[in-house]
Amino acid sequence: MTSHDCGQCRELWATFTRLHNIHYTLFGFSPVRPGRTRGGVRILRRVGSETVMTVSAVANSPVDHGAIRRRIDAALHEFLDRKAESAAACRLPADVVGAVRSFLFAGGNRIRSLFCVLGWYAGGGIDLPDEVVRTAAAVELFHSATLIHDDLLDDRDSRDGRPTVHRIAADRSRRVRNGRAAERFGARSAVILGDCGLGWAQELIHGAGLSPARSAAVSAVLDTLRTEVNYGRYLELVTSGRPTPDLDQAWEIVRYRTVACMVERPLHVGAALAAADPDVLRSLTAYARPVGEVARLQDELRSVFQDGESVGRFGLRDLREGRHTVLLALALRHATPERRDDLTGFVGNTRLDESGAAICRDILSVTARFEVERMIRHRRNQIESALDDTRIPDFAVAGLRNAADLIIG
């Protein structure tokens, strides 16, 4: 193309942009829906006072979860390799990085980092730059660090069939320590290792190569996430062992312990990277809340009505520890006084056996199970409604739908 032709193109594009701005000023919206694509071309996007045209090779392509996961894993390995080299240079214990790496790569579907990437696409992000991958990797590292602490708080011996971090540390410590001392060592090690992971997640964000504006936007979302995680933990702690029919409080726990940390905030981190407009954020929240709620409600049902701790999140521990679940709150609301007394007598009893659990199941089945199943169906419809009524690009909507399937089937 000649230089004259290039000048003509620039002039035509400038004229088109001015006309678009006039339309936007008069009518308050773009003649082309922002965020939608045509033939792989994102027609218009407004950034501040400017209107820009962008082209995306991925706009009409499906989101490849496997490819995203491989890039996330590579970013995590690269970061931890640097931490290991730094530790060796300073003669620090090598097993700290090793323990975090082992836990991080012990399993899991990388769903939170996937949601971060989907938030980026939903907000109008193009392709998958390295800085977005590194930010998503930081979200994954943050999540793993919180799980190390959660397993300690929940006194779990295993996760997904593997020993938890504090259990591994305690067992290894028995070579040189007695029983109680080894247990204390394991617990303290988990606190320290989890703290390392949280700090390293922030370090990974700082080194992601984000602009100051993007870094500030992402940090604001992560600040909110940290607060929500800890409030959720505290709510779960103070309500355990004393079951009540307080349904609002049960939903608060679901909101902070599952919805925010698993779905909503990772999506918002990605959207912040893309400078998504408020309508997109609202659409992501409208999708995230029912997805997280369904995941939690399914878990509550599995933990009570299916045998084996590996099936549900806690097995019978929801009942033994008296966890304040939606299922239990509904049962206490709807049970007869006699059945309510039976339920409160069993729930929270750490020695609850299978015969007592069977009585609890009978009461919960009659008073709450079907209502929880109805709630799940209703929220599945909400997910579809949220995805049908949105400005999010079609390929990102498909990715969000597939991500929901990964979690809730």
Tens-place pLDDT, residues 323-343: 999 999 999 999 999 999 999
CB 300 within 8 A of CB 326: yes
- Domain membership of residue 309 (yes or no) is no
In angstroms, what CA-CA distances link 343 with 214, 238, 274, 283, 302?
A: 51, 19, 49, 39, 18
Cα distance between residue 135 and residue 113, in whole Å: 8
Does residue 325 come out as left (phi exceeding 0), alpha (psi in the -120 to 50 range) or beta? beta
Task: For residue 47, list its beta bridge partners.
Answer: 50
Sheet arrangement for strand 50-55: 37-38, 41-47, 50-55
Q: What is the CA radius of gyration of the chain?
A: 25
Tokens encoding 237: 């702690």
CB 326 within 8 A of CB 222: no
The bridge status of strand 158-159 relative to strand 41-47 is unpaired
Q: How confident is the model at residue 39 (pLDDT cuts 50, 70, 90)?
A: very low
- Domain membership of residue 16 (yes or no) is yes
Residue 321 in this model has a pLDDT that exceeds 50: yes
Residue 311 in this model has a pLDDT that exceeds 90: no
For 274-296, the pLDDT digits (tens) are 999 999 999 999 999 999 999 99
What pLDDT, on the 0 to 100 scale, is given for residue 75? 98
Give the pLDDT mean for 373-379. Answer: 98
Tokens encoding 200: 């390293």
Residue 49 in this model has a pLDDT that exceeds 80: no
In this structure, what DSSP letter does residue 242 have? S
Cα distance between residue 93 and residue 87, in whole Å: 7
What pLDDT, on the 0 to 100 scale, is given for residue 12? 52
Residue 310 in this model has a pLDDT that exceeds 60: no
Residue 174 in this model has a pLDDT that exceeds 70: yes
Q: How confident is the model at residue 65 (pLDDT cuts 50, 70, 90)?
A: very high
3-class secondary structure for 111-138? HHHHHHHHHHHHCCCCCCCHHHHHHHHH
Residue that is written with structure tokens 């996007």 in the block: 45
Tokens encoding 277: 């407009």
DSSP string across 159-191 = ETTEE-HHHHHHHHHTTTS-HHHHHHHHHHHHH
Give the pLDDT mean for 193-203. Answer: 98
Residue that is written with structure tokens 């990605």 in the block: 270
Select the more confidently predicted residue: 161 or 97: 97
Q: Residue 38 sits in which domain range?
A: 3-55
Cα distance between residue 392 and residue 288, in whole Å: 14
What pLDDT, on the 0 to 100 scale, is given for residue 45? 43
Amino acid at 292: G
- Domain membership of residue 24 (yes or no) is yes
What pLDDT, on the 0 to 100 scale, is given for residue 33? 40
What pLDDT, on the 0 to 100 scale, is given for residue 8? 55
Highest mean pLDDT among 19-23, 96-100, 310-314, 318-322: 96-100
Integer distance in angstroms from the first to the last C-alpha of the chain?
52
For 222-257, the pLDDT digits (tens) are 999 999 999 999 999 999 988 899 999 999 999 999
Q: Is 322 helix (H, G, I), strand (E, B) or coil?
A: coil
For 109-156, the pLDDT digits (tens) are 899 999 999 999 999 999 999 999 999 999 999 999 999 999 999 999
- Domain membership of residue 81 (yes or no) is no
Share of the chain above pLDDT 70, in %: 83
- Domain membership of residue 72 (yes or no) is no
What pLDDT, on the 0 to 100 scale, is given for residue 317? 78
CB 290 within 8 A of CB 243: no
For 207-226, the pLDDT digits (tens) are 999 999 999 999 999 999 99
The alpha carbon torsion through 140, 142, 146, 147 (nearest 10 deg) reads: 20
Q: How many domains does the chain have?
A: 1
Q: How confident is the model at residue 58 (pLDDT cuts 50, 70, 90)?
A: very low
- Domain membership of residue 396 (yes or no) is no
- Domain membership of residue 38 (yes or no) is yes
Residue that is written with structure tokens 């999010």 in the block: 392
In angstroms, what CA-CA distances link 247 with 35, 145, 347, 393?
A: 38, 30, 17, 36
CB 107 within 8 A of CB 73: no
- Domain membership of residue 42 (yes or no) is yes
